[in-house]
Structure 1
C-alpha cells in the first residue's frame, strides 16, 4: 500500500479554500481522513509539508495542438508523448489532443495513432479542429483543405478515432452543418462552434441541434455588434454552452475575459491553451499542420500573413494571469482549469477536483502561482517541493 499525506497547504476544494488543509493519497487516489489531528493515531506514512503553497486539482486542457517542440498533428506516438510530457510539467494532468485542418486521410491516420494513446490513458480523447470551418475565419488553418461538413466526411473522422473522438469544431452555417451537429451528438461527440461566420440565428439553431461548446470564444468569429450580435451573444447566453477562453494576454483583453465570466458564470468557462509546438519552448520557427509559424516574444503567428496561430500558453500561466492580472478569485480560476472541463469531458467522477475517491492528480503552486510539484495518479512527476518527513504521533 502506497500512502502519503500532503499537509499545510491552502487546498482549493469544490466548496472553497481550506487553509492549512490536509489531503491523504493512498494507492493513487484521494482518501478521507476527517478526524481531528489530536485523534489521529501515530503512523509511518510520509508527510509532505506544503506550508506556504497552494494545492489544486490537476489541470484539464480541452484544446491543445502541441508543446515541447512537438505536435499532435505529426502523427507519431513519439511526438504526441513529447507534447503530453511538456504540458504535464506545467500541471496539465488530463488533456485532449487537438488536430488542425488537413486532408481527411491524414487526419484519419493521426486519429488512429492518437486513439492508441487514449486507450493507454495518456490522453482523454481527440479533438478535430477543422477542416469543416469557414474560409473567412480559418486563421492558422490551410484554406485549400477546408470542406463542408457532409455526413460522410464527418463520419469518417468519427470512425477513425475508434470511439475516442471527444470534440469536433465546425462552422454550423456551412452546408450540412446542422446535420453534422446532430450526427456528432448522436455519436457522443461534443459539437463545438468555432472558426465561424454564423449569425446569431444560425448559432442558435446549432445549439438547439446539440452544440455545447464555443471554441476559443471571441477568436475566429464575428465580433459582438449591437444590431448583429452574431455567435458570441448566442453562445454566451445559453446555459447549455461551455465557452473556451485563451487567457494568454494576446487573444483576449482582460475586460473581455471578465465579460465572459460575468455573462456565462464560472461554471461555464473553460480555460484552454490552444497551444502549438512552441509551448514550453522559446521563440523560433515551428510547424502547425502544413503551415509554418514564427514565434516572437512568446506570440505565435503564421510566417505568411501574420495571423495569430494558436498560442504558446500553458495552463499554469493561464491560472497565474487569471488571479494576478484579471482579478479572479483563485477558486473560480481553478474551476475553469479543472472541474468545468472535466465535467464537459464526462470524467468528473475521476478528476477535476480534490475529493475523496478521485484520482490523485494534484498540482502544488508556490505563493506566486508557479508550479512547485505535479502529481498524477499518486505519483510525483515533479517535486515534491519539500522533502518528506515521517509524521509525528499527532499525524501533523
Structure 2
C-alpha cells in the first residue's frame, strides 16, 4: 500500500541520516584525537634535524665526495645492467662502469683546468678597464651621497695576480683536490663492486619491506633521470652559450660556457650566477649593447631549456615545490658547501625517502612537498565550478535587465 511505501522510504532516510551522523562523529573524533606529547615530538624532531645538519656539516669534507660518488654510481648503473644482460661478466661490467665514470671526470677536470688557465690569461688584459670601472662606480656612489672611499682604495690598488691567487686558493680550499679525488675514486670503486648485489638485495627486501624496496628503486630512478637530463641539457646550454658569446664578442666565452654548464645543476639561482661574469666582461668590451645582447641570449636559452624542455623530460622525477627547491639549495650550500648547491635535489630527495616515502603514515605530506597532481585536479574542478557560477550569474543579470527594459 502507499502508506507502507511511504513508511519504508522514511525508514531508509532515517537509516541514511544515522549513517551520516555516525560518519561525522567518527571524523570529528579522529580530528580531535591528538597525542598529548605532540609538541614534545615536534621539538624532538626539530632538535634531531638540527643535530643531524650540524653533524653533516662537521664531516662535510667527507660526506660531499661520498654522496657525489653515490650519485655517479646511480647514474651509470644502467650501463652495468645493459652489459650484464648482453652476457658480459660481472667483473668486466664493473670495470667498464668505473672506466666510464673516470673518463667523464677526467674530461671535466681538463675542461676546468683549461678554463682556469684562460681566466688567468684574460684577467690582466682588462686590469686598466676594471680599475676605471671601479673608480666610475665609486664616483657615482659619491654623487648620490654614499661614502665610497674604500671602493676608491680597492679600485686603485687592484692587482689581477692577487685575484688569481685568491681564486686558486679558494678552489683548493673548497675541494681539497687530492683528498677529494682519492675519496671519490675509492668510493666509486667500492660502490661499483657493491652495486652488483643491489638487484638481488632488493628482491630479498621486497617480501619483508615492500614499501622500502619500492621507494629505493624510485629514488634511484628519479635521481638518475634528474642528473642525466640536467647534465645533457646543461651541456647543450653551455655549448650554445659558448657559441653565442663568441658571436657577440665577449672575452672568455669558453669559461662562461663551462660556468653555465656547472650552474645548470643549481636550481633557480644558477642562471643568475652564470650570467654575471659575461655581463661584466661584455660591458668592458662593448658597453650597453653587448650587455643587453648577453641578457637576451641567456634569457632565451635559459627559458627554453630550463623552463620548457627540462620539466617535460624530467616529469615527476622531482616532485618538489619551487619553494622547497630554492630553500634546499640554500640549506645544503650552507651545510655541505658549494657542492651541496649542485647536489641539492638528490640530497633533498634522500631526506624525503627517509622521512616520507618509506613511512606509510606520512603519505599526507606528499602534496605539501610538491606532488600536486590530485591538487591540480581539485583546483581544476573548483575553477570549472566557479566559471559555471559566474556564467549563471551573468545570465540572471542579463535576463533581469531585459525584463526591466520594457517596464521602463
Q: TM (normalized to structure 1)?
A: 0.21
Q: Which has the higher contact order (CA 8 A, sep 6+)?
A: 1
More strand by share: 1
Which structure has the greater CA radius of gyration? Answer: 2
Structure 2 length as normaliser, TM-score? 0.20
